[in-house]
Amino acid sequence: MQTERVDKAEVEFFQQIQSLIKAVPTFVPEHFSKICGVDADYSKKDKRVVATVVLFRDGLINEARTYKGEFTFPYISGLFSFMKARSLLPP
């Protein structure tokens, strides 16, 4: 069995960032009329990203947007969501 080494600085970072995140109980309806899918893919070699957002309304694609470009935020273990968010969120 291989033991994974834990980076103490990474653990401390995530403990501190938890204070910024507030989970608020939310009512979840039985039927959704809208849902949004988001994803991004990266080429580390070319430093290129393709990010896509698709909005479904009543089960049909209502709108879709794609971003293609360069990325500058490097891959850091445990911080992948920060790398993705830079391509998916407005400036």
Q: Where are the domains of the chain?
A: 30-88
Residue-wise pLDDT for 11-70, tens only, equals 787 777 777 777 777 777 888 888 888 888 878 788 888 888 899 998 899 999 998 988
75 vs 88: CA distance, rounded Å: 16
DSSP 8-state symbol, 70: E
Dihedral sign (CA 19, 20, 21, 22): positive
Q: Cα-flanking dihedrals φ and ψ of residue 72, to 5°?
A: -115, -20
Quick check: 73 pLDDT over 70?
A: no
Residues near 19 by beta carbon (within 8 Å), at least 6 away in sequence: none
Question: Per-residue pLDDT for 80 more than 70?
Answer: no
Query: pTM of the prediction?
Result: 0.50
> What's the rounded Cα separation, in Å, for the pair 4 and 84?
25
